[in-house]
Chains A and B, each alone.
Chain A
Amino acid sequence: MSLPDYLAILMFAAACGALMLGYGVAFTLGGISLIFAAIGVATGTFEPSFLLAIPGRIFPLITKEILMAVPLFVFMGVMLEKSKLAEDLLEAMADLFGSARGGLGVSVVLVGALLAASTGIVGATVVTMGLLSLPTMLKRGYAPSLASGAIAASGTLGQIIPPSIVLVILGDQLSNAYQEAQRAHGLQTDGVISVGDLFAGALLPGLILVGLYALYITFVAVIKPEMAPASARDKSVHISVFLKRVLKAMLPPILLIVAVLGSILYGYATPTRGAALGALGAILLAGYKLAEDRAGVRKLILLATFSIIAIIAIDLTGVDIRFEQETWQTIERIAFSAALLLSGLAILGVLGALAYLGKLGQLAAVSRQTMYITSMVFVILIGATMFSLVFRGFGGEDLVGALLAGAPGGPTGALVLVMVVMFFLGFFLDFIEITFVIVPLVAPPLLAMNLAGAGMPPVFMDPIWLGILMALNLQTSFLTPPFGFALFYLRGVAPPEVTTTALYKGVLPFIGIQIFVILLVALFPAIATSLPALMG
């Protein structure tokens, strides 16, 4: 190895060490790489003109259309969270399933899968879930270990269930890596992958995880009822009133998520567009929910919601109502006028909801939080870009390639090596940082490796499969004691009667489930790849 190689390795180690000190991640990544660039220039091993490329690299990242999905999904999530819709959803589910053994635990898993995802930050998700549901579960007699295990696990679960922003980021990085593999590593295929493909790929493994989590909790509740007792339903409330209340809290957010996900997977909208529609839906939902004593506002919002649904219904009938056409038929004229009128109503309702949320200060609070999360994500991306630029300047890329090529056990060995490294990085770095720094380095050489033996037609790794394995792997890493991210955050908000030992004991079965699903996806790639292929 030569001096630049040593510097590249040292730089990586220094960045890991410096991150531990706790200065902003983005600036640590950027700053450390620049310090090493300076050392490189002084020793004649780094070309300073490399740094000239920085602004030209930053700019495309922040003007990329697909990454606009990040602020839009975050807006949707923060809006749903801040208007307490998630809380209502959990309460309603607890009411509905609470009278069954283990029912509350299953509700927590389902809500975690549905709503806690949208911000994409493990810490924030777990804290929200912990504050929201841990006290309720303990109050209703759940064993602290089972309660905290279920919450930590479902808090991280949201990460790999689409639509989640980490999948947007991972999908974008993988799509770049796939092109890089074709361009620079001689991968002979013209395939492309998209964020939508990754969403589709993650759906089945995610649902399997949800199912297994719920199954495990039910299993425990059956063999050890004292760990997950059923709570009596308030008998004074008539069943129909009760059901109505539960449906009212559950249906709208679930429909919204399903509609957004459906439109993206079905190909009706790109992830960015789907996210915008989702955020718009969240505005309407929050406006309706918060305008409890304002019947007028509520009516306006309801009207807008039905108008939007009606417009989409008109569109789905296939009647041609495009603005610029020559062949207007009577039915098309009628449909067109109706759609135009409905659009007007929809715009009016959205403006009404926005005005009302603005008056409450809700709009300002949601926008502020969304701005914080968005700039946090993109500034890390800027820092990580500087880091990779300097790392490449030292030839670190070839180093990683050589390391992977020389891994014992061929491509499988290289894959296992990458997974193990990512698993340990997951102890102290969040999903976003690992995706931005590690994926661009390891994914192109991995994707270009030939899995088939000599003399056979070449077989390559499926990028979607690789992405899903990475996502599952990181999610497990966040759960693993003693360093798992999710455990740290849950410890921070858990009441003192939940001991750390109980917390560790509680997550073990969920880690078992995770490992099982990772092996399942590793051995049967079709679990991840069949749905994207189906939607082609």
Chain B
Amino acid sequence: MNADLLDLIGRSLQAIGWVFLPLLLLPVLSLLLPNSKRLTEFQTSLIGMIDSFNMAVGELVKYLLVALVVGVAFSVMAVKIFGQSWTKFDEAAIYFHATVILLGSSATLLAGEHVRVDIFYAKLTAKSKALVDLIGFYALLIPFCLVIIWNAQNFIGLAWTSLEGSTEASGIRGLFILKTFVSVFALMMLAQGLAIASRAALFLTGKPLPERPKHIDPLFAPHERESGL
């Protein structure tokens, strides 16, 4: 692809990123200004938006797992019995697998299914749990995501310059898209972390919490299910 055009796209995306970066301060801001009604409303609607977006993506990509099972099983039969194999078909399985991980992780975070060490956590009060999520977001999740996004610029840029595809001639020519998902992954995780930290801040200041999506257990509620099970 045209290097100048790509450079321009990259720079614009980076500029957009810088513009939105202050949003990450929202949970802290709401702790400092607990009485700002407007801030609470904005936060509530942002949580709703992020939650439903990530949930919707997760609900969609989870079906790729069914395709993965059927696809790999089918290709085993084809190879073993009829001696037929299609590179595109085999590679598609890897695309499905990687897409589920990269795009489904934020839905997993939303559902609280990323495993925690809960020897002590399980005994904490709901308030302390909210505090753990809030501090963890700033100290651990933000660096985790931002470092991936920042360092992936070259990695993804290079893939786009050559519109990188499979090393096999008859393979899928979409490696550059899959590589882009690495950044999308970090971005979605960052957004989900922000939603959870905002929820924690609302909880800590005693505000009503926005509803959680369907099938998903409430956060910081008294009867919270143990996560990671």
Contacts and interface: CB of A to CB of B under 8 A. Distances in A.
B84 interface: yes
A276 B69 CA distance: 5
A311 B156 CA distance: 44
A28 B121 CA distance: 14
Contacts of A269: 76, 80
A399 interface: no
Interface in B57-106: 58-59, 61-63, 65-66, 68-70, 72-74, 76-77, 80-84, 93-94, 97-98, 100-102, 104-105
Q: Give chain B's interface residue range (CB within 8 Å of chain A).
A: 35 or more
Contact of A68 (B97, B108, B122, B152): B97
A364 B58 CA distance: 11
A32 B140 contact: yes
Interface string B35-63: 00000000000000000000000110111
Given A20-B120, A58-B148, A276-B72, A343 B113 contact: no
Given A277-B73, A376-B228, A430-B115, A54 B151 contact: yes
Contact of A276 (B76, B81, B108, B109): B76
Contacts of B144: 26-27, 30-31, 34, 383, 386
B155 to A, nearest CB: 4
A329 to B, nearest CB: 16
Nearest to B113: A372
B98 A428 contact: no
Interface residues of A, number: 82
B223 interface: no
Given A276-B69, A363-B66, A371-B107, A59 B117 contact: no
A428 B144 CA distance: 22
A375 B108 contact: yes
Interface string A275-288: 01101100100000
Interface string B120-153: 1110100001001101100111011001100110
A379 interface: yes
Interface stretch (A160-168, A188-196, A320-328, A507-515): A320-328
Contact of A483 (B72, B119, B155): B119
Nearest to A268: B80
Contacts of A32: 140
Interface string A151-167: 00000000000000000
Query: Chain A interface secondary structure, helix, strand, loop or mixed?
Result: helix
A123 interface: yes
B207 interface: no
Nearest to B193: A27
B62 A27 contact: no
B100 A59 contact: no
A73 B23 CA distance: 40
B202 interface: no
A373 B156 CA distance: 27
A280 B105 CA distance: 24
Contact of A21 (B83, B120, B152, B155): B120
B28 to A, nearest CB: 17
A372 B76 CA distance: 26
B191 to A, nearest CB: 14
A372 B59 CA distance: 11
A75 B80 contact: no
B101 A24 contact: no
Contact of B69 (A52, A283, A379, A428): A283
A58 B97 CA distance: 14
A63 interface: yes
A280 B73 contact: yes
Nearest to B134: A23
Contact of B143 (A31, A273, A429): A31
A43 B161 CA distance: 36
A56 B151 CA distance: 9
A330 B167 CA distance: 40
Contacts of B122: 22, 492
Nearest to B139: A31
A367 B154 contact: no
Nearest to A125: B229
B224 interface: no
A311 B77 CA distance: 9
A371 B147 contact: no
B204 to A, nearest CB: 16
19 contacts: A22-B129, A23-B140, A28-B140, A63-B98, A68-B68, A71-B100, A277-B73, A280-B70, A308-B77, A315-B81, A339-B82, A347-B74, A368-B59, A368-B215, A378-B105, A379-B105, A380-B115, A383-B144, A489-B229
Q: Which 10 A-B pairs have the closest CB atoms?
A: A22-B121, A31-B140, A23-B136, A322-B83, A276-B72, A372-B113, A367-B62, A55-B155, A55-B152, A30-B144
Given A26-B144, A62-B101, A308-B77, 13 more contacts: A24-B141, A30-B147, A34-B143, A55-B155, A72-B72, A121-B115, A273-B76, A276-B69, A315-B80, A371-B100, A374-B104, A380-B115, A488-B119
Interface of A: 18-28, 30-32, 34-35, 51-56, 58-59, 62-63, 65, 68, 71-72, 75, 121, 123-124, 127, 268-269, 272-273, 276-277, 279-280, 283, 308, 311, 314-315, 321-325, 339, 343, 346-347, 350, 354, 363-364, 367-368, 370-376, 378-380, 383, 386, 428-430, 483, 488-489, 492
